[in-house]
Amino acid sequence: MHHEKILILDFGSQYTQLIARRVRELNIYSEIHPYNKIPSLDDNWKAVILSGSPFSVREENCPVPELTNIKGKLPILAICYGAQFLANKYGGEVLPSKIREYGRANLSYINSSSLLFENINLNSQVWMSHGDTITKLPSEYELIASTKEVTNAAYSFEDEKIYGLQFHPEVYHSKDGGLLINNFLINICNCTQDWTPESFVDNTINELKIKLCNDKVVLGLSGGVDSTIAAVLLDKAIGKNLYCIFVDNGLLRKNEFNDVLDQYKGMGLNVKGVDAKEDFYSVLEGVSDPEKKRKAIGAKFIDVFDYEANLIENVKWLAQGTIYPDVIESVSVSGGPSATIKSHHNVGGLPDFMKLKIVEPLKTLFKDEVRRIGKSMDVDSQLLARHPFPGPGLAIRILGNITSEKVRILQEVDDIFISELKSHNLYDDVWQAGAIFLPVQSVGVMGDERTYENVVALRAVESTDGMTADWVHLPYDFLALVSNEIINKVHGVNRVVYDISSKPPATIEWE
């Protein structure tokens, strides 16, 4: 793509992805690269942002980027660890903080002449998250912002357009963080904001045409937004050479297989439905460990696609709806230092015996961006509004081993929960909702008789990209109604609980 680009150097911060999102919200393209794998810099690169890190600049083996081709040539915005690294390297001093500097703080001083803080007022809330602090700035660096506890909260070196922030503007707790990043990219870097959903669609379709030519591609549809938008993009690029496979792994929502298959056919996609329920139940029999479940499901998907691909003459590619959070949570970003959180069944390549190359048209996008791409292509709004659903399906919402009876129970529970959210006009207020089958039973009373049946948890969160999330404060009356419906209508359940955990520290899914 020939758009202006912002290079984000990753030092291992779990907030790095949020920096990329903040940049893209301004219609400016950004890429995350490990600090030790800096790409070749051409005229399209407009600026560099240095991320935070779990490391300390005082550690012997801390990340040290090679900035020779960057410093003094491109504007730099250094965040947390990045700001400490520059200050420490060029003559300043970084020492352990005397107090714990984590959480909300307010700006007590701002240099009113700083372009970076234009239209940002005193007392603006920022988010701190660090164990070290900058005690002395390099001689040529100028202090431009402080908080009550952190004197050197921000600095600049105007001669080289270098700006350092001890706080994190990318997180939503920094109330003017978006404005600050806007000031850096628009006022200081003069970016033109030319990266839009429409431009992504045009560029991606052209790239797919060049990459795939007349090759045949098989795509595993899941019923979710990601694989669907990937299919629409590929269909526009290669048309009849796209072969979509929608697998019933026995772990989908109630009636989802038939309903979604009909919807895909109505969209004009070349799609085949495959009933593989028993195959998946077989490989999951007796498996309780969540990572082993994911790997078993991933391996069986590969088996199914390998078989189906062999039925298509001369198919050469496997397309997947992989998005950025999948990659980030499965492996460190592009081989960088970010911590692995969990594996995803569609990340990590294919075994050697499967002679297909992988194409992933959405792998650089966040979920909200995927929806905007779909809207720009006039994809049905109800489909775009569908909540995310995990690739392994209900397998990771059933804690413990998988049986067809547990799946049946959870499908019934989930159907009641989702249906009531929709009927009470709450569905669109929730980013993701679902039910979890817990590996416990509880005593109950039904019809004057003692019961000893299963417990299910309901989960509903609000988020923008799935990287962070908060639980939704659903009305008590609504929760009471749903609980009553589930216990009365789903045989095998006598207790319903509601999950009020945020991410972090919890994850959205339980496994």
As annotated, the active-site residues are 80, 168, 170
Report the C-alpha gap between 226 and 366 in whole angstroms.
10
Report the C-alpha gap between 206 and 236 in whole angstroms.
10
Asked if 456 and 437 touch (Cβ cutoff 8 Å), the reply is: yes
Provide the CB-side half-sphere exposure for 68 (13 A, CA). 2
Strands 449-462, 432-446: pairing kind: antiparallel
DSSP string, 303-347: HHHHHHHHTSTTEEEEE----HHHHHHHS-GGGSSPPP----TT-
Q: Quick check: bond before 504 cis, omega within 30?
A: yes
**Residue reference for tokens 């207020």:** 429
CA-closest candidate to residue 293, choices 352, 367, 224, 344 = 344
Number of CB atoms found within 10 A of residue 453's CB:
17
Asked if 298 and 346 touch (Cβ cutoff 8 Å), the reply is: yes
Q: Which amino acid is at 445?
A: V
Report the C-alpha gap between 288 and 395 in whole angstroms.
10
Report the C-alpha gap between 85 and 57 in whole angstroms.
6
| SS3 of residue 37 by DSSP | coil
Q: Which residues contact 279 (CB under 8 A, 6 or more apart)?
A: 300, 303, 304
Asked if 193 and 186 touch (Cβ cutoff 8 Å), the reply is: yes
CA-closest candidate to residue 192, choices 29, 78, 70 = 29
**Residue reference for tokens 């357009």:** 161
* CA quadruple 7, 9, 12, 14: dihedral, nearest 10: -30
Question: For the CA atoms of the chain, what is the radius of gyration?
Answer: 25
Asked if 138 and 149 touch (Cβ cutoff 8 Å), the reply is: no
Tokens at residue 293, please?
A: 């479940």
- For the chain, the distance separating the N- and C-terminal CA atoms, rounded to the nearest angstrom, is 37
Task: Look at the chain and count its residues.
Answer: 511
Asked if 438 and 454 touch (Cβ cutoff 8 Å), the reply is: yes
Provide the CB-side half-sphere exposure for 202 (13 A, CA). 9
Q: Which residues contact 1 (CB under 8 A, 6 or more apart)?
A: 29, 195, 199, 203, 207
